[in-house]
């Protein structure tokens, strides 16, 4: 009897919460529906990673092969090359790209001229809205060994032209630097929002104690946005093996495969172009599992060391 009453009270509490937050629930419902339809329902299709999928006989009738495709990927000549390239591109992106939006937000926060500050913000956001195709096209034109502006300058000072886009030594630098240029302004928005949440009275108290702007930044501003920095760092580390294939496909050439080829581009070539769907699904599933494990691991490390975590 008591359990029945407790269950009724729980149901009533749920209905009261629904009635109280009905407008918020309506507001978020399209996002929930989107994720259910396009992210959770398709997860059932990951089963083809364990099948020899044949479109002619369908999903259900394709024979089970167990871990055949995983084993084939692990034994592949390309396995370590793909892992190495993906990890290096992400590590370089974190080392050189992750601090730039933070530094930019801190510097912008020190600007007192409102018009100048808004102008710099707007200019820094613009590259984010430029298509990757356009960005890579600009790189190809500017770095062309024949008539690119960079090589024309090198020729003018007596240097030999460099085939930047076809030289493996330049690929990672171009990939990372162009990504920083395109995204640092947009990525700084979240840090600027975190900065606006810091209590201004803390700065007033620091001024009374004789702290200069540098000391205020080190002792108030940075600690104030540190939770945001750590959360975003965890999310970045959690995608250590994930590198978007769009930009790499636009940039790389057979000459740069050794340093440019990553898991996503390999899946695209073999899975989409080669119609080897089961193998591509197996590689993609492996990538997702490793990223999930990395996310959980670094989240736990962060929680233990800093008491800041995603959950």
Contacts of 14 (CB under 8 A, 6+ apart): none
pLDDT tens digits for range 9-30: 778 888 888 888 888 889 999 9
Give the burial class of 154: count Cβ atoms within 10 A of its Cβ; 0-12 exposed, 13-18 middle, 19 or more buried.
middle
Q: Which domain holds residue 154?
A: 51-306
- Whether residue 206 lies inside any domain: the answer is yes
Distances (CA, A) of 97 to 50, 190, 230: 37, 15, 15
Assess if residue 14 is contained within a domain.
no
Query: pLDDT above 90 covers what percent of the chain?
Result: 32
CA distances from 244 to 78, 107, 251, 263, 264 (A): 18, 30, 12, 9, 7
Q: What is the mean pLDDT of residues 248-272?
A: 87
CATH number at residue 273: 1.10.3720.10
Q: CA quadruple 106, 111, 114, 116: dihedral positive or negative?
A: negative
Q: Which token pair is 170?
A: 């330049």
Is 6 among the domain residues?
no
C-beta separation of 105 from 191 below 8 A: yes
Report the domain count for the chain: 1
pLDDT of the residue at 7: 64
The verdict on residue 103 lying in a domain is: yes
Q: What is the pLDDT of residues 55-66, one digit of tens each?
A: 888 878 888 888
User: Of 82, 102, 135, which is closest to residue 217 (Cα–Cα)?
Assistant: 102
Which of 34-38, 101-105, 118-122, 271-275 has the weakest average pLDDT?
A: 271-275
Tell me if 222 is assigned to some domain: yes
Across 144-166, average pLDDT = 89
Cβ neighbours of residue 51 closer than 8 Å, sequence gap 6 or more: 59, 62, 63, 64, 65, 278
Does any domain span residue 173? yes
Looking at the domain assignment, is residue 134 inside a domain? yes
Tokens representing residue 104 in the block: 């930019």
* Mean pLDDT value across residues 242-269: 86
Considering the domain boundaries, does residue 246 fall inside one? yes
> Please, which pLDDT band fits residue 257 given cuts at 50, 70 and 90?
confident
């Amino acid at each position: 009897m008591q359990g029945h009453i407790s269950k009724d009270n729980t149901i009533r509490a749920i209905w009261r919460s629904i009635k109280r937050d009905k407008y918020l629930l309506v507001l978020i419902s399209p996002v929930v529906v989107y994720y259910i339809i396009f992210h959770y329902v398709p997860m059932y299709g990951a089963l083809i990673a364990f099948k020899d999928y044949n479109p002619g006989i369908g999903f259900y009738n394709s024979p089970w092969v167990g871990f055949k495709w995983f084993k084939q990927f692990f034994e592949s000549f390309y396995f370590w090359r793909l892992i190495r390239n993906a990890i290096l591109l992400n590590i370089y992106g974190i080392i050189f790209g992750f601090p730039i939006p933070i530094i930019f937000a801190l510097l912008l926060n020190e600007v007192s001229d409102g018009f100048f500050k808004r102008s710099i913000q707007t200019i820094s956001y613009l590259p984010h809205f430029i298509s990757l195709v356009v960005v890579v096209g600009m790189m190809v034109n500017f770095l062309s060994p024949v008539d690119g502006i960079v090589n024309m300058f090198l020729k003018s000072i007596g240097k030999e032209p460099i085939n930047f886009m076809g030289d493996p030594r330049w690929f990672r630098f171009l990939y990372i630097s162009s990504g920083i240029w395109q995204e640092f302004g947009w990525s700084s928005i979240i840090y600027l929002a975190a900065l606006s949440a810091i209590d201004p009275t803390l700065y007033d108290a620091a001024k009374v104690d004789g702290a200069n702007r540098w000391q205020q930044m080190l002792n108030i501003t940075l600690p104030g946005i540190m939770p945001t920095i750590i959360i975003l760092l965890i999310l970045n580390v959690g995608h250590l093996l994930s590198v978007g294939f769009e930009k790499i496909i636009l940039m790389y050439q057979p000459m740069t495969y050794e340093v440019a080829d990553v898991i996503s581009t390999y899946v695209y070539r073999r899975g989409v172009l080669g119609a080897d769907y089961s193998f591509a699904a197996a590689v993609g599933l492996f990538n997702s599992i490793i990223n999930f494990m990395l996310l959980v691991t670094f989240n736990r490390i962060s929680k233990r060391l800093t008491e800041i975590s995603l959950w």
